[in-house]
Amino acid sequence: MLSLLAAVALLLPLLAVLQYRWLGQVSTAERERMGAVLRSAAAQFGETFDREITRAYSTFQQQRAGEISQLAKEYAGRFQEWDTSASYPRMVRDLYLIVADAQGSNRLLQFEQGAAAFHQIDWPEELAELQGVTMPTDPIRDEIPALLIPSDAADEGASRILCVVVVLDLDHLKQVVIPALATRFFAADDELEYELAIVRRSDPQAVVFQTNDNLASRATNDAVTGLFEVRLETLLGRPEAQERKGLVRIVKRQRISTGEEELPGRWKLLVRHQSGSLEEAVANGRRRNLAVSFGVLLLLALSVGFIVVSSGRATRLAREQMKFVAGVSHELRTPLAVICSAGENLADGVVHDRHQIAEYGSLIRNEGRRLSRMVEQVLEYAGAQPGRQPYQPKPVELRAVVEAALNESRLQLEEGGFKVETEIETDLPLVNADAAALQRALQNLLGNAIKYGAENRWIALRAWKDSPASGSEEVTLTVEDRGRGIPARDVSRIFEPFYRSPDVVAAQIQGSGLGLSLVQHIAAAHGGRVSVESRPGQGSSFTIHLPIAAPTAS
């Protein structure tokens, strides 16, 4: 047992330390893995968004020269193509042509899809800044937001088509496109794991989108990526092909440097884990894992402790049982030896005198009684084990029980020369009890009072009704002696089976150590208890407390 304890005491802290370290390493790896996954998700978010932008750009890119009316027909076809092929067709809100006339001022023509025609309109406020455009080199105006596609159409009379303006629907982007992409790349089970914000690169205070308030102004982010650019290389294949079309130039130009990092796009996507940061999320996971594994270790330690305690208890019980067997055998041997030798003497005719024969007879009777009392106790103890209920309670008058017990012990009391004071309250209520068991309990207490009553040879037996301050009314049965008393250190143990005070063992007073445990068992089985008061050298008083029987309806 000791070596098991030592092994556990050594192993548990070792396991705890190893667990702590390994979980630390696992967390570091987990943090790196989550970081990589997050960065890749952010990049894919940007790429997917840009793919839609680029598709819009390439769909409405004017490739063939022609008159405006011809162009209008072509754009009607393009719109149809866009509506059927784009993932989010409603992200394109309006289409315009900017046309420079002979006087050098720009006119704005709006495309009307129903009529498949361009109509001149006044410059709306959102496009006012394009009024002075000459030759657009920048394909994106993210503050509108709009795509500007340079025109390669031939001059039409005095006027010249400068560019096609594809105006994007910002509300649709914010309410449909971005949330859909966020769910696609940053959600698990339709629940966003990350908080997102999109700000304009040229003005980080300008928040385009955010999942929570004040998100854009936070200091740290788990991932940052750029988006909103025309990535023609993704649509048009090899760079040489693009070079020929003069598109690479545009793509290259729009990669603007912010000074912090070279990111594509006009907008910046900021991503942070819901629990504050990726670091925090991993730390939370680590704390949870540590709590679980330390909990398991604690449970293990408790189980080992429990095993040690219960096996200690089992060993103690086995030792006490051995002591009991040895004690009982010893106790049995003495009366048996006396009975045998007295019997032999009588049988051999050694004793003739009538007086002597009577003495032998009473000797054999007394020893026989002692034997049967001990056998009774052992049997009762065996019967009192948990799960067995040998008692049959019914309403009983205590006076009868007391008198029967005194009657049974009369001989012993008379031989010992005991003075017995009996005090039984008149009109004592009935108790619900097994009369025979109660009598045995009382006899055990009387037997102890006789055994341990010393020279004073005085016993009091009282029965009365009591109303304790706490609890309901009860009937008490007290056996008091003026004997040797019980040392304070033993009082708490005398009700344990097989326990005998070392003083009485030393004084060679015979007994099995079972009597009081049986008294307690009988009292408890009747819903009562046993109490004891004792002063060493002055005497003891044992009281059985029993609940009063409920009055039966008659």
Binding residues vs ligand ADP (CB under 6 A): 448-449, 452, 481, 483-486, 494, 499-501, 504, 511-517, 540
Q: In angstroms, what is the minimal distance from the CB of 395 to ligand ADP? A: 28
Kindly give the residue spans of alpha helices, DSSP state H, lying in 392-531: 398-416, 435-451, 488-491, 502-506, 515-525
The smaller minimum CB distance to ligand ADP, of residues 231 and 451, is found at 451
Q: In angstroms, what is the minimal distance from the CB of 378 to ligand ADP? A: 11
Q: In angstroms, what is the minimal distance from the CB of 425 to ligand ADP? A: 23
Strands (E), 50-135: 92-100, 106-112, 117-121
Task: List phi, psi (to 5°) of 111.
Answer: -85, 130
Q: How far is it, in rounded angstroms, from Cα 109 to Cα 117?
A: 9
The smaller minimum CB distance to ligand ADP, of residues 265 and 447, is found at 447
Total Cβ atoms within 10 A of residue 197? 21
Q: In what order do the strands lie in the sheet with 194-200?
A: 207-210, 194-200, 267-273, 223-227
Contact 95, 108 (CB under 8 A): no
The smaller minimum CB distance to ligand ADP, of residues 201 and 500, is found at 500
Q: How far is it, in rounded angstroms, from Cα 322 to Cα 312?
A: 15
The smaller minimum CB distance to ligand ADP, of residues 513 and 528, is found at 513
The smaller minimum CB distance to ligand ADP, of residues 226 and 447, is found at 447
Q: In angstroms, what is the minimal distance from the CB of 293 to ligand ADP? A: 49
Q: How far is it, in rounded angstroms, from Cα 524 to Cα 530?
A: 8
Closest CB to ligand ADP: residue number: 511
The smaller minimum CB distance to ligand ADP, of residues 162 and 486, is found at 486
Q: In angstroms, what is the minimal distance from the CB of 487 to ligand ADP? A: 8
Which residues, 6+ apart, have CB-to-CB distance to 173 below 8 Å?
Answer: 91, 145, 209
The smaller minimum CB distance to ligand ADP, of residues 461 and 494, is found at 494
Q: How far is it, in rounded angstroms, from Cα 95 to Cα 144?
A: 13
Q: How far is it, in rounded angstroms, from Cα 337 to Cα 305?
A: 47
**What are the CA-CA distances from residue 203 to residues 127, 143, 189, 268, 416 (Å)?**
19, 10, 34, 10, 112
Q: In angstroms, what is the minimal distance from the CB of 541 to ligand ADP? A: 9
Q: In angstroms, what is the minimal distance from the CB of 322 to ligand ADP? A: 17
